[in-house]
Structure 1
């Protein structure tokens, strides 16, 4: 049995937000992803990951979809050489600050009574409740595969003083926020959130003075801008922001409300349609067991949020693909 919570690992130290309380563990920063293979050997990477597995039992490694190919190859090489089914490599399309928020939420939930398989597959569910975006001084070089930039927006971005509000998740959106008397309106969360913002080379006034009240954010907190943000948003003239559920009781109820199944390949519990550890898809509904039967991590080794009424997001109408 493993007394320590499942380890949440990240590929960049900028993805580690401060713990909100004494119960929330920090994230492990994978030096094998941060440092060059020329200065951090495969043997060192193997030792690092093996130590995490031995201490925590299971490791969930969050890796951005935008990570360089060598980083991804190194992560998979380490998992392959260790021949370990206790390492989940979870890729995410979230921008840097949004991914840092997701890592924090998983860290909060790691001390609850969720099994490693449920915790890892919860990353996909929770991502649909993170509103991540940025105030941008230019969209001229923004990746159109992430957010659709119209020809008109592209042309306007060259005008002095132009600013745009971009939402990457849960649904891509782009609006102009300055000039012509136009009002910017981004789709607002339908639940209570905490708004984090990280200024680059733009003033955060629009984010703190317009966006936060419009989104009815319960708390507005400044964070450090991740170094990767300028590359992700293709400009240094930005203020990145992310609004998400801060209450661990609500997060717990959200994940708990989703049906659990056993992976037919590795046996771990999961939510959704694919195991985060072995990547095996869930069998068709007619082939699934009526009730989940496995609990790999006993509740006696976890902290559970205090009982009481909470207002959780409606899980009966999750975004397509959320579960």
Structure 2
């Protein structure tokens, strides 16, 4: 899901619709056109999409023999992923190099608190759930608050029950599925002291990701471009020894190369 622009500087998103269903030649031409137009392409992809989409992305990257396509599949629920994609679109208007911009995705992931209010956890397999919670999920009217990121946690909704939130100022997005409740927009938003709250449509992959359509998904995030830019530029940068792009961290997001080990050097970790 491509969220509306956060501000006037936010770059538009390009949605790769039905990538695994269109002819390979058409998909190749579409990605090549984006590379020709922008120089580098950062593909943000949900882990809830089909394996066919994942295979098609790797096939395209291989056939184009391009180190200018970064494939990024963070372990975020669909709404949290949409937030991250918009943050990268915000940063794309700044003076960041393609490698630093793509690497910033890993960094910004840590500042997103994403979860959902669920009417059932019986088919939830992306967050650890105990058998007791599974049994309770069959009780009519039971609801569960689930935090998937940054630290997975599940609670059964009751008076005074909440989830651990961010220790910094955030805005919140809420996306309603087939569940009626004001727990997210009322109780949770108040407990997390969010500075702003907006409702958006539910992403297409959300029901599959959470294992039910009876849900309200939420994500708390840093909205200000100045803060995002400060985070992205405050981390030590390096240069990929293989493809030459600037990077944050040890692994290049475009060619996947890691720093070479020299003689007598002990690998980190």
RMSD between superposed Cα atoms in Å: 1.9
C-alpha separation in 2, matches of 1:167 and 1:287: 44
How far the C-alpha of 1:84 sits from its partner, in A, is: 1.1
C-alpha separation in 1, matches of 2:112 and 2:261: 29
Q: Residues 66 and 93 of structure 1 are in contact (CA less than 8 Å); yes or no, is this contact kept in structure 2?
A: no
Could you tell me which residue of structure 2 aligns to residue 150 of structure 1? 130
Structure 1, gaps ≥5 residues long:
1-14, 289-320
C-alpha separation in 1, matches of 2:176 and 2:259: 42
- Residue 157 to residue 257, structure 1, CA distance change in 2 (3 Å): same
How far the C-alpha of 1:204 sits from its partner, in A, is: 3.9
Query: In the TM superposition, what whole-angstrom CA distance separates every residue of 1:115-169 from its partner, at most 9, and x where no partner exists?
Result: 10011111111111100000000001100xx211111111111111110000111
How far the C-alpha of 1:85 sits from its partner, in A, is: 1.2
Aligned match for 1:62, one of 28, 41, 44: 44
Aligned match for 1:41, one of 10, 23, 26: 23
Q: Residues 65 and 93 of structure 1 are in contact (CA less than 8 Å); yes or no, is this contact kept in structure 2?
A: yes
When the two structures are superposed, what TM-score results if normalisation uses the length of structure 2? 0.94
Number of residue equivalences: 266
- Residue 283 to residue 122, structure 1, CA distance change in 2 (3 Å): farther
Alignment of 1:309-320 (within 5 A): none
Alignment of 1:1-323 (within 5 A): 15-31=1-17, 34-37=18-21, 40-143=22-125, 146-178=126-158, 181=159, 183-283=160-260
Structure 2, gaps ≥5 residues long:
none
- Residue 83 to residue 176, structure 1, CA distance change in 2 (3 Å): same
C-alpha separation in 2, matches of 1:151 and 1:90: 33
Q: Residues 120 and 142 of structure 2 are in contact (CA less than 8 Å); yes or no, is this contact kept in structure 1?
A: yes
How far the C-alpha of 1:67 sits from its partner, in A, is: 2.2
- Residue 66 to residue 245, structure 1, CA distance change in 2 (3 Å): same
Q: Residues 89 and 276 of structure 1 are in contact (CA less than 8 Å); yes or no, is this contact kept in structure 2?
A: yes
- Residue 168 to residue 112, structure 1, CA distance change in 2 (3 Å): same
SS in 2 for 1:242: strand
Q: Residues 122 and 255 of structure 1 are in contact (CA less than 8 Å); yes or no, is this contact kept in structure 2?
A: yes
C-alpha separation in 1, matches of 2:181 and 2:253: 37
C-alpha separation in 2, matches of 1:247 and 1:48: 32
C-alpha separation in 2, matches of 1:155 and 1:22: 48
C-alpha separation in 2, matches of 1:286 and 1:258: 27
Could you tell me which residue of structure 2 aligns to residue 302 of structure 1? none
How far the C-alpha of 1:217 sits from its partner, in A, is: 0.4
When the two structures are superposed, what TM-score results if normalisation uses the length of structure 1? 0.79
How far the C-alpha of 1:82 sits from its partner, in A, is: 1.1
C-alpha separation in 2, matches of 1:226 and 1:103: 13
- Residue 177 to residue 284, structure 1, CA distance change in 2 (3 Å): farther
- Residue 207 to residue 79, structure 1, CA distance change in 2 (3 Å): same
C-alpha separation in 2, matches of 1:287 and 1:62: 38
